[in-house]
Structure 1
Amino acid sequence: MSVLPIIQSLEQLVLMHEELLNVSKEKTEVIKEGSVEKLQAILAKERKQIRKVEQVEDKRRVIVEEWFTSRNLSLEDMTISRILDGLEEEADKETIAAVTTKLTEVITALKQQEQLNQTLLNQSMQFVQLSLDVLQPSITKLNYGKQKNESERASRSIFDSQA
């Protein structure tokens, strides 16, 4: 079996992850705007893209299993390193290494972008909570002036016993 289907599936994964990265960048801008409706639309778009990535990943896994089976290699350790070790042609090795590196870079950028989005969402939630706290005073702050302790009030009696 040729290594070409593996290369094609990896290239397809790179493209899909780049599209997901673009959606994540759109999400960052929408979070900055504070538009809940736009954010919901972006999240729906993101879920669709994630499903597509999962489908391509499943196809890639099947292709790699077929490649390992055709070479009579163990299916337990299906890694890029093992694929590279099993290839004879340098051009194929270089192509797979380059595509794998690109995929790793895109996934790393996607993780960083999602961490930024998470930070922005947390800050937005903190701001909303602070705003709610300012608008809704607590019950203890509703009374004006000093509150007298019950012990001070109880120490005086109605009748003066020294008279």
Structure 2
Amino acid sequence: MSIERILSALERLVQLHDSLLQLSLTKTDLLKKGDIEGVQNILKTEQKHIQAVNKLEKERLTAVDKWAEQYQLSDDEKVVTEILKKVSDDGERKQLEELSTELAEKLMELKAQEALNHELTNQSLQFVQMNLDLLSPTIEQVNYGNAKSQNDPQSKRSVFDSKA
């Protein structure tokens, strides 16, 4: 049995993850510019991509299960390295190896880019919080008058010099 269904699912997963990576790069630029509406639109598009990835991943798992059933592979053996050992066609083996490597690379790039986006978002939130803290009054600022410390020797002096 050929592994065409597995290869087809992997090809589409690579394409979707490449598209997600491009969206993530765009999101980085929008975060740097502070374009909140643009980020929201990107997030909506990403959600659609994630739904498609989940659907494709289910298809890929089903194809792997059917293929593994034919070769009587256990659940632990349903990994790329074991499948590569069982594939007899050199072209399919090479294509499976290339696609799985490319998908792994895309996933690593996407993870790194999303980590950057997460850090940018956290920095933006910290900046906003700092500005809010600067604008909101504290308890000491709300009290009127010039409050002096009680331990301050200058505050205990009288206006009149009694020794005179």
**What amino acid is aligned across from residue 47 of structure 1 in structure 2?**
Q
Query: How do residues 65-104 of structure 1 correspond to structure 2 at under 5 angstroms?
Result: 65-104=65-104
Mapped to 1, the partners of 2:145 and 2:114 lie a distance apart of 47
- Partner of residue 138, structure 1: 138
Q: Work out the number of aligned pairs and report it.
A: 152
Opposite residue 11 of structure 1, the aligned amino acid is: E
TM-aligned CA distance change 1:101 to 1:144, over 3 Å = farther
Between the aligned partners of 1:85 and 1:72, the Cα distance in structure 2 is: 13
Structure 1 range deviating more: 85-94 or 120-129: 85-94
Report 1:1-163 matches (<5 A): 1-142=1-142, 143-149=144-150
Q: TM-score with structure 1 length normalisation?
A: 0.85
Cα contact 1:69–1:75 (8 A) shared by 2: no
Q: Distance in 1 between matches of 2:133 and 2:145?
A: 19
Distance, in Å, in 2 between the alignment partners of 1:144 and 1:34 is 40
How many angstroms does 1:29 deviate by?
A: 1.5
Deviating runs (4+, > 6 A) in structure 1? none
Percentage of pairs with the same residue: 35
Aligned to 2:75, the other structure's residue is in SS state coil
Cα displacement (A) at 1:7: 1.2
Equivalents in 2 of 1:75, 1:135: separation in Å? 59
Q: Which amino acid aligns with 1:71?
A: Y
Q: CA deviation at 1:144?
A: 5.0
Cα distance in 1 for residues equivalent to 2:95 and 2:40: 39
Segments of 5+ residues of structure 2 without an aligned counterpart are: 157-164
Q: Which residue of 2 aligns with 1:159?
A: none
Task: Report the RMSD for the aligned CA atoms in angstroms.
Answer: 1.9
Structure 1 residue 70 displacement after superposition: 1.4
- Superposition deviation, residue 148 in structure 1: 4.1
